[in-house]
Every structure is written in C-alpha cells, then in structure tokens.
Amino acid sequence: MSSRKFFGTDGVRGRVGIPPMTASVVMQLGWAVGQVFASTGNKEVLIGKDTRVSGYLFEAALEAGLASAGINSRLLGPMPTPAVAYLTSTFRAAAGIVISASHNPYFDNGIKIFSSQGRKLPDEVELQIEELMTAEMTTVDSSDLGRAYRVDDAAGRYIEFCKSTFVSGLRLDGMKIVVDAANGAGYDIAHRVFRELGAGVVSVGAEPNGLNINKECGATAPDNLRAHVLLERADLGIALDGDGDRIIMVDHRGEIVDGDEILYVLARARKEAGEMTGGVAGTLMSNLGLEHALHELDIPFERAKVGDRYVMELLQKNGWMLGGENSGHVICLDRVTTGDAIVASLQVLSVMKQTGQSLAELRSGMMLYPQVLVNVPIKEKVDFSDNDQINDAVRRAEEALGDSGRVLLRPSGTEPLVRVMVEGQVANDVENICNDVARAVGDALD
C-alpha cells in the first residue's frame, strides 16, 4: 500500500503558503480528485468553505483543477463541514470538498473530501488521489472543460434538514440560548436554526472578517460562551468550532459541558426511551467517568484511536449509532453521516424539552474524573513500548490508581512528544502521579 504524503487523519492540512497548502498543490489536488471521480461518470463536485481569507484562494485553485479534469464545481460559499456532507448526498454529487482547517487559527487551512454518500473517503480512494498528486497534470479538450455554478439556496436546504432532526411537534419557545459560531462557517446558519424553532437567540462569534475564526471564541475557547450565558442569564449556551462539526455546551450555571457529557445525556435518554441501538464509541481520551456512567446504564462502550475518523470506523464496524470525542465531535449516525454541532445540540435540546430538565440536571448523573495531560519532549520518535523503566512507572501508577483511574501514553503524530495522560478520582493524586510518570518517560528517553 502506498504511503501518505498529503492526507492525514482528517484530510490535507497545513500553514497557508507552505506545501501542501499552496495554490499550485491545491490545484493539483483538485485535478487528482477530478481524475478519480471522472471515471464514475458523475461530473458534479460540491465545494464549501469556512470564513478564512485564504478560502477564496483555494476555492479558485480547486475549481481550476477540477475544470481541467472535466468536472463541474458547485460552489456553496461559507458552509459548515456537515452541511457539505449532507448536500453532497442530496445533490447526488460525486464528491464534496470542504476548505477548512476546523479549529485551527486563520493562518492554517485544509481540504476535506466526502464521498457521494456524505462520508469521509475510504482509504483506497485517498490513496488513488495521493498517487495522482505527483503525476503530470493534463487538461481535457476545451469542449469538455468543467464549469462552475453558485448554489444560492444551500443554506436554506441545510437549515431545513437540521430542523427535521428535532422531534416533530416540539418547539423551543421560552428558551434563551447563546450561540457562539466561532466567527466560522456556521456564523449565518446556526442562530437561524434555533430562532426558526422558536428560541430566543443571543448570537456571538458571528462577525467573521477572514482573520478572526476561532480567535478567543467558539468550541476551543468556551470561556467566551460561559461569560455570555451568565451575563444574559440564558438557559444554556452552544459553541461551534470554525467548521461547525464540534460542539461544546454551557449550562445555565456557566458550567462547561464537553463531548463526553453530551454523549452521556444522549445515550441515557435513548436508553430510557427504548431507542438505544448498540453501544457508544469513544476514544482513548474519553473520560473514565463516561465509561463508568454508561456501565451503570448497561450500555456497551468501546474506545477508538483519537480522531473522529476512527470513531466512525468503530461505529460502522459495530453497527452502533452514537459516538464521539470529549473535544466535541458528536456523531449521531441515525441522523447524520458525520459529526454535526447543530444537529447534536438539537438532540440535547429535544431531551431537555421532553423531560423538562435543565442541561445541568441532565448531566448530573455522570462524574467527570480529574484528568491531567503532560507533554514530554523527546529527541526523536522511538518505540518505547518495551522500555522497562517506563513500563515500571506505568505499573506503579496503575497500582496507585486501582480501578478508579487509568494511565495513557501516546506519542504525538506530528511532534517529537510523548503525551502522558492520567485520570482518577482525586485531583491532587492524579497530578502527582502524572508528573511522576512524565518524569520517568523523560529520563528514559533522554
């Protein structure tokens, strides 16, 4: 199998102006995508983007590459990643492309690609595209060149879809919600969904200027949302990240509700309603409190590698519907084909309206265990799985924690670091144990 030079776990991503995020490389990527999908006979590809200033550059580059391969581009403009996935399916397009670096700062950007079913591409298709990235770029005959069309009603289509995932007959009248769109792709759509369902909405992070996406706002900076919820005395707050696939919530007391707690709320509600299909898929970073709370509910739980791609693979393997990450990716496969912040929040709001309980009450059945993460710099990436010094330190830590905690060592995929994570019931103990293990890792790999 060919090695990956361009694609990571979530598409192609990097600093704007440095390969692969240059106009020439992205144009080649558009051409390579066109070459792969032209063979299907379907010559329609959707392109959406977030609000980064570089989105204009890469939209034009993709359009040129696709046109050279004879593929038509349907331009959606600023659109959440899950919206592109949904519209790709409903348009019966060959593929959907998102120009976004998700939660990263404005000076990064990336390319994500969805299949005609609105799912992330299989490995074998990504590898076909990879192989063409170094091939000579050709151009079809002028009579066969692709064209570009603007899709004017894309936002309205997605808004109606989101509303259709909310329980029929319910409304949000009487609720006051703060929505922080991270100055990103959901800046115009998110607040409209909740308003059309009857909620009073305070909209923040909805003034993108091309440079302020994710800047001190959104799901990666929830203190902004917390402050507005308390100031407005709102019932809750909802924060998206820059491309709208992550969600973090805040209850009326100003307490942050992360992806693990959202999964717990949804799983418990489905279990009580007799609608729970299978179990819940988390990741190696999912809080031990989620695992224990689901065990109490007799709901199976399994961990995948970190990354929503791997959560999706585990869900599909097991035939389960609900999974996600504590960082805010929440996947409801019976509603959508990928992580969707707006749809996930609507599922939580449905539970609140049906039970009459606040978000604070719904989350109270799960205890988040204190979790400490230390990044240990190393000289070079090495396999430390059979290092006796490190294994002894981990064994001592696990004995000290017992059944009420765990230790995780994970090498960084992009930097010369080992991430040491420890969680347990007592915060001071967890911090001390984590520091001890991190020190042992540093000494052993120095």
The answer to whether residues 321 and 378 belong to one domain is no
- The answer as to whether 424 is a domain residue is yes
The answer to whether residues 262 and 331 belong to one domain is yes
Tell me what pLDDT residue 403 has.
Answer: 87
Residues with catalytic function = 102
381 pLDDT above the threshold of 90: no
- The answer as to whether 81 is a domain residue is yes
- The answer as to whether 1 is a domain residue is no
The answer to whether residues 285 and 243 belong to one domain is no
- The answer as to whether 314 is a domain residue is yes
The 10s digit of each residue's pLDDT in 330-378 is 999 999 999 999 999 999 999 999 999 999 999 999 999 999 999 999 9
Compute the average pLDDT of residues 217-224: 97
Q: Is the separation of the CB atoms in 88 and 151 below 8 Å?
A: no
Which of 254, 284, 317 represents a domain boundary (last residue)?
A: 254
- The answer as to whether 159 is a domain residue is no
80 pLDDT above the threshold of 60: yes
Which of 254, 273, 288 represents a domain boundary (last residue)?
A: 254
Tell me what pLDDT residue 414 has.
Answer: 65
- The answer as to whether 168 is a domain residue is no
Domain harbouring 191, CATH code: 3.40.120.10
The predicted model scores a pTM of 0.93
Where residue 296 falls among pLDDT bands split at 50, 70, 90? very high
The 10s digit of each residue's pLDDT in 432-445 is 999 999 999 999 99
Where residue 1 falls among pLDDT bands split at 50, 70, 90? very low
Q: Is the separation of the CB atoms in 176 and 70 below 8 Å?
A: no
415 pLDDT above the threshold of 90: no
Dist. CA 116–CA 89, nearest whole Å: 6
- The answer as to whether 2 is a domain residue is no
- The answer as to whether 6 is a domain residue is no
For residue 279 the two structure tokens come to 């179990």
Question: Which region among 96-110, 202-216, 298-312, 400-414 has the lowest average model confidence (pLDDT)?
Answer: 400-414
291 pLDDT above the threshold of 50: yes
> Considering its fold, how many domains does the chain have in total?
4
More confident residue, 255 or 4: 255
The answer to whether residues 401 and 360 belong to one domain is no
The answer to whether residues 205 and 237 belong to one domain is yes
2 pLDDT above the threshold of 90: no
